[in-house]
């Protein structure tokens, strides 16, 4: 998986790197390194981040897509 959208999704959800790190079980510096491409996570962290990305890919609260009936709950 390419984590190039991680920063965009994190920011769209209003999270800092430290807050995302706390949610997925890593440090702020690890989140930074993943976002910049300096680190490619493996194992449990890779699975946890992939699950977070997939669950965060739905419409953002208040976005036009949220009210179109096809959004994620």
Q: Give the pLDDT confidence score for residue 53 in this predicted structure.
A: 87
Q: Give the pLDDT confidence score for residue 54 in this predicted structure.
A: 87
> Please, which residues have CB within 8 angstroms of residue 71's CB and are 6 or more apart in sequence?
58, 59, 65
* CA nearest neighbour of 17 among 4, 3, 2, 27: 27
Report the percent of the chain where pLDDT is more than 70.
Answer: 75
Domain boundaries, the chain: 6-54
Query: What are the two backbone dihedrals, phi and then psi, of residue 62, each rounded to the nearest 5 degrees?
Result: 85, -5
How high does pLDDT run on average in the chain? Answer: 81
Q: Give the pLDDT confidence score for residue 17 in this predicted structure.
A: 97
Q: Is the separation of the CB atoms in 59 and 65 below 8 Å?
A: yes
């Amino acid at each position: 998986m390419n984590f190039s959208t991680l920063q965009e999704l994190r920011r769209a959800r209003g999270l800092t790197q430290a807050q995302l790190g706390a949610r997925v079980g890593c440090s702020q510096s690890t989140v930074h390194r993943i976002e910049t491409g300096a680190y490619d996570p493996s194992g449990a962290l890779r699975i946890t981040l992939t699950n977070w990305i997939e669950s965060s890919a739905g419409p953002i609260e208040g976005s036009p897509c949220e009210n179109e009936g096809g959004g994620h709950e």
